[in-house]
Amino acid sequence: MDSNRKVTHLGRRVALIGATVAMVTGVLVVGGTALASSRHTVKPAAVPKVDIVGKGIFNCATVTGEVGYSPAIKANSRLKERVSIWFLATNCKPAAGAGAQPIPKFIVGALSFPDNNFLNGCPQLSGPPLGVGTLDLAYNFPGVPALMIDPSVAPLETVKQLGAFWTISGLPGITDGSYVSPTFTATIKPNPIGGQNCKTGITSEYISRGTLKNV
C-alpha cells in the first residue's frame, strides 16, 4: 500500500517537473525579464504578382472616413489649426464610356491642410474655402496580393462647404500615377463624433457618406 502511494506521488512529481520544464522552454529571459515566446509563426504577406498603372475614369458610390482637427475647433476660439481628412471609397464602377481598367476594390485617400480662413473657430460654415492641400490616393491598400495598383496624387485640391457636405476638387485634378483625370471631385458628409459640439470642442468628425467622381 505504501509502495503504491510512493509510486503515485513520484509520478505526480515527474509530471509536475515535466510541465514546469515545458513551461520554462516557452519563456525567453532577456535582461532579467521573462518574455513568453509564441509558438505561432507570423507569416509574411503575399508578394504582389503584378504592378500596374490604372487607366480610364471611374466613380465610387460609397465613401466613409474621418476628419480631424488640431487643435479642436471651438466657439470663439481663433488658434491656428490643421485639418486632416482620411477616407475609404468602395463600390467603384467605370464611368460611362471611360473604359477604366482595372477597377480597385477600394481606395484610401488622405488630405491635410492648414486652415488659414476659419482657424479653429466653430462653426465652420459657408464663407471662403476651408483650405487647399495635396490629396494622395492609394488603390487596393492594404495591397491585394495578386495585384498592386500604383498610387496617384491630386495636388492643390480645394475643400469647400456646400450645405451639409464638403466638396474636394481642383485643377487639373489627378496628375500623377494611376487614373489621371482633370475632372476629379469628391463629396463627403462630416458629422461630429459622440457628444462633441462647438461649446465643448470638436476634435474629429466621422464621414457618414460621400462619393468620388471621375477618379
Q: Would you state the pLDDT for residue 142?
A: 65
Q: Would you state the pLDDT for residue 195?
A: 86
- What is the number of alpha carbons within 13 Å of residue 196 lying toward its C-beta? 18
131-144/107-115 β-pairing? antiparallel
In tens, the pLDDT along 56-87 reads 999 999 999 999 999 999 998 889 999 999 99
9, amino acid identity: H
Q: Would you state the pLDDT for residue 143?
A: 65
Q: Would you state the pLDDT for residue 69?
A: 95
DSSP-derived secondary structure for 156-172: EEEEEEETTEEEEE-SS
Task: Kindly report the pTM of this predicted structure.
Answer: 0.76
Residues of the chain with pLDDT under 50: 1-38
Q: Would you state the pLDDT for residue 44?
A: 55
d(CA 120, CA 132): 16
How many residues does this entry show for the chain?
Answer: 215
Rounded to the nearest 5 degrees, what angle is found at the Cα of 132, between the Cα atoms of 59 and 151?
45
Q: Would you state the pLDDT for residue 182?
A: 94
